Amino acid sequence: MDKIRVRGGKQLQGILHVSGAKNAVLPAMAASLLTSEPIVLENSPQVRDVSTMIRVLQRMGALEPQREGSRLTLRVPKIASAEAPYELVKTMRASVLVLGPLLARCGEARVSLPGGCAIGARPVNLHIMALQKLGARIEVEHGYMVAEGRELKGADISFDSKTVTGTENLMMAATRAQGRTVLRNVAQEPEIEDLAELLNRMGAKVSGAGTEIIVIDGVDELHGAVHPVIPDRIEAGTFLMAAAITRSAVKVENCRPNHLDAVLEKLRDVGVRMEVGPSAIQVVPDGPLRPGNLVTLPYPGFPTDLQAQYMALATQAGGSSLITESIFENRFMHVGELRRMGAHIDIDAHFAVVHGPTPLTGAQVMATDLRASASLIVAGLLAEGETIIDRAYHIDRGYERIEEKLQKVGADIQRIH
């Protein structure tokens, strides 16, 4: 099993290029199930979750995908099997995103329930509730959601709470339902807007994505399309934290700063100086870091997927920062590992108090999930000595060649096979 070794204490310099967004390309790939024509996804990241989604789609009848660099072409001429098996879904919860498109395309689906994961129970009751409102019959049997819905009908649906993939599943299911669907209290993440853009390129009628109400007028057929996937705002945020913690003059390029408003505001509040352009953010090393309280929230609030990386940064602030994780009930797995590196953090349920500044020292640590592993790299870049991060496969799920990118700006980081 691969490990990542980081020798810290070096200032970084240069340009960090951001790849396409994992959480935008996965629903876009699922959308290829909605038509028999080719879907071309440009700026598609080469991360492990993309490979897993390809295997899920191939199980359903997708042809061998074509890949030219970051250009990925998918085609599902016909649905050979409407089943997403447990052995794939358990490795990537986002596989649940095939449920809506399968129902829309062939009126049936058998999708393994994702089960819990390191960061929380993560039920899919909201997905099921909303699809049932479109007229689908969904039973849970032997760990699978068995769904049937040959004539989905548009409906007015309110989500009890915001769900990103739940919103995406319903958008895709409603594109070919009869009549109008109105989705209320939906998630507003940029990845949702990006999916709506792709669906409209395929001939769908989706409006309001990015707001709290999305309206979809069903159509009979969808066709092929070419779509540029948005840059990964979480990768961009991770790079900003890496530059800030090492006091480095790094430019984060090919990103969308307007997708990072809450993150940039928080970083400025704690003393990180940045020059922001239309598609790049230049970090300018400056004075000491200040403490800053943080609450993770649905977009446009501060993303939970950057909480762990921010926590690593807060270990260097001149005082205590209170971090409240309001999205997932178990997203502090990185705290134990950061403490092994010398961090002083108290946790109580959803709350963590990070006391700083504390000198970090390299240690052997364990990655527990994707973003926790990113926070250990951020901490390792500053820590005195060597940090060995075990279970590096977690990082590969959502970061494209992260150690090569960081090496380019002078980081002493390697993969140990």
**Binding residues for ligand EPZ (CB under 6 A):** 22-23, 26, 94, 120, 122-127, 161, 163-166, 187, 304-305, 327-328, 370-371, 398
Q: Is 39 or 164 the residue whose CB approaches ligand EPZ more closely?
A: 164
Least distance from C-beta 212 to ligand EPZ, angstroms? Answer: 14
Tell me the pairing of strands 39-42 and 71-74.
Answer: antiparallel
Q: Residue 303, preceding bond cis, omega within 30 degrees?
A: no
Specify the residue, 28 or 155, whose C-beta has the smaller distance to ligand EPZ: 28
Catalytic residue among 117, 215, 322, 388: 117
Q: Judged by CB, which is closer to ligand EPZ: 334, or 371?
A: 371
| Pairwise CA distance, residues 24 & 45, whole Å | 10
Rounded to the nearest whole angstrom, what is the least distance from the CB of residue 391 to ligand EPZ in the complex? 15
Q: Which amino acid is at 212?
A: E
CB of 380 to ligand EPZ, least distance (A): 19
Cα–Cα distances in Å, from 338 out to 279, 387, 411?
Answer: 32, 11, 19
255 belongs to the catalytic site? no
| C-beta separation of 406 from 12 below 8 A | yes
Helices (H), 186-286: 190-201, 233-245, 261-269
**Of 341, 298, 302, 343, residue with least CA distance to 323:** 302
Rounded CA-CA distance 329/288 in Å is: 32
To ligand EPZ, the closest distance from the beta carbon of 131 in angstroms equals: 11
- Which residue, 317 or 327, is less far from ligand EPZ as judged by CB? 327
Q: Hunting for tokens 């299911």 — which residue is that?
A: 173
Closest C-alpha among 314, 316, 321 to residue 357: 316
Would you give the DSSP letter of residue 214?
E
Cβ-count burial of 64 within 10 angstroms (0-12 exposed, 13-18 middle, 19+ buried)?
A: exposed
Nearest approach, Cβ of residue 90 and ligand EPZ (Å): 14
Q: How many CB atoms lie within 10 A of CB 111?
A: 27
Nearer to ligand EPZ, 122 or 344 (CB): 122
Nearer residue to ligand EPZ within complex by CB, 219 or 295: 295
φ, ψ dihedrals at 161, nearest 5°: -145, 165
CB of 249 to ligand EPZ, least distance (A): 28
User: Which residues are annotated as catalytic?
Assistant: 117
